[in-house]
Amino acid sequence: MMRALLGICLLLITISPAWAQGRAGDREVFSVGTVKASRGQTATGAIEVPAGSDAALSIPVAVAHGAKAGPVLALLAGAHGTEYASIIALEKLIGDIDAKQLSGTVIILPLVNVPSFQKVVPHLNPTDGKNMNRMYPGKVDGTQTDRASYFITTQVVEQADHVIDFHGGDIDESLRPYSYWNKTGRADQDAFSRGMVLAFGLDHIIISADRPKDPKDSRYFENTASTRGKPSITVEAGHAGTVESEDVAVLVNGTLSVMRHLKMLPGTPKPAENPVWIDHLADVAAEQGGIFYPLVKRGAYINAGMKIGYVTDYLGRTLFEARAKEAGVLLYVRAVPSINKGDAVASIGVVGKSP
Ligand SMILES: [Zn+2]
């Protein structure tokens, strides 16, 4: 009986997935793009995306290769280059993570969409007009966003055991912090990622059960890892072009807490104790374009049918009243007066049960 149990245990250890073993992080030198980091060292460089039908792109990368072996964690921000708080949080983490204290490897891409950042263009890559968090796993012969996505998939996702994708309210979004837990339907992977999202510590968590399942059409960065069997999460903090120290702090501290949870750093994680689990989103879109006036603030609790804002023409005549379809938490509301027909007015998180 004991012998049989031991046999089963050994079998389970043998077939446990890569993320349970930190397999990729046990190399002496870890390479991403032009970066080569030796054990106990943080090195910097770039993923050089060559020119194709449009311009080349140099995506900055830092790699902290721990003194000891462990999991490989990839952190990525700035797919939307004007979600500033998340970009600044990863810039801070490059300096804060001490590779000598680290078990495992951290790959940091603090600013993927450099053209968006430089030209102050929200949501899209101004080079090709594409969303840099919708084109994964990418194409080597596509436009700049497709090619960048391809190199991030092959250089970053394929080498990582876990990823964290960092976002926040863009210039036109007044957002309260929240995270996404991607429910893939694979029980062991989902239990692992649930542990990560709780360890990050944000107290509002969206249960995301409708993401693509096909790794060849993963669309999102985080989903590119999840569809490849790598437990991963997405986090959001920051709003409307600001870099508030409290938003940067929740992103930096959340990352360090996940790293403690993964045993990459010494110390105990600080998980969210009583998170609000969001079952689904009740988004409100503008039925008319014009000037938007909000009547509620981010984080407010909203009743079904409540008026959350209105749109007028350029001479003050009301064209459209935006009302909540369901009750929930206001995750974000439009932060600027300019609005076009079909633009997002608000996203309301409808509260569900703890999974
Ligand atoms: Zn974003």
Q: What is the pLDDT of residue 15?
A: 46
State the virtual CA torsion across 37, 42, 44, 50 in degrees, nearest 10: 40
Expressed in angstroms and rounded, the spacing between residue 318 Cα and the centre of ligand 1 is 31
Handedness of CA 296, 297, 302, 308 (dihedral sign): positive
Expressed in angstroms and rounded, the spacing between residue 239 Cα and the centre of ligand 1 is 11
Rounded CA-CA distance 274/205 in Å is 11
Expressed in angstroms and rounded, the spacing between residue 311 Cα and the centre of ligand 1 is 25
Expressed in angstroms and rounded, the spacing between residue 331 Cα and the centre of ligand 1 is 14
Q: What is the pLDDT of residue 17?
A: 55
Expressed in angstroms and rounded, the spacing between residue 114 Cα and the centre of ligand 1 is 14
Rounded CA-CA distance 87/103 in Å is 24
Expressed in angstroms and rounded, the spacing between residue 240 Cα and the centre of ligand 1 is 12
The DSSP symbol for 180 reads E
Structure tokens belonging to residue 32: 């991403």
Expressed in angstroms and rounded, the spacing between residue 321 Cα and the centre of ligand 1 is 27
Expressed in angstroms and rounded, the spacing between residue 353 Cα and the centre of ligand 1 is 26
Expressed in angstroms and rounded, the spacing between residue 31 Cα and the centre of ligand 1 is 27
Alpha carbon 321 to chain centroid, angstroms: 32
Other CB atoms within 10 A of residue 350 CB: 18
Expressed in angstroms and rounded, the spacing between residue 100 Cα and the centre of ligand 1 is 32
The one-letter amino acid at 334: R
Expressed in angstroms and rounded, the spacing between residue 236 Cα and the centre of ligand 1 is 8
Backbone angles phi, psi at 281, to 5 degrees: -110, 135
Expressed in angstroms and rounded, the spacing between residue 25 Cα and the centre of ligand 1 is 28
Q: What is the pLDDT of residue 212?
A: 86
Low-confidence ranges of the chain (pLDDT < 50): 1-15, 22
Tell me which residues have their CB within 5 A of the ion that is ligand 1: 80, 83, 167
Q: What is the pLDDT of residue 2?
A: 46
**Contacts of residue 129, Cβ cutoff 8 Å, sequence gap at least 6:** none
Expressed in angstroms and rounded, the spacing between residue 118 Cα and the centre of ligand 1 is 16
**Contacts of residue 275, Cβ cutoff 8 Å, sequence gap at least 6:** 198, 202, 203, 204, 205, 354
Expressed in angstroms and rounded, the spacing between residue 117 Cα and the centre of ligand 1 is 12
Expressed in angstroms and rounded, the spacing between residue 168 Cα and the centre of ligand 1 is 6
Q: What is the pLDDT of residue 25?
A: 66
pTM: 0.93
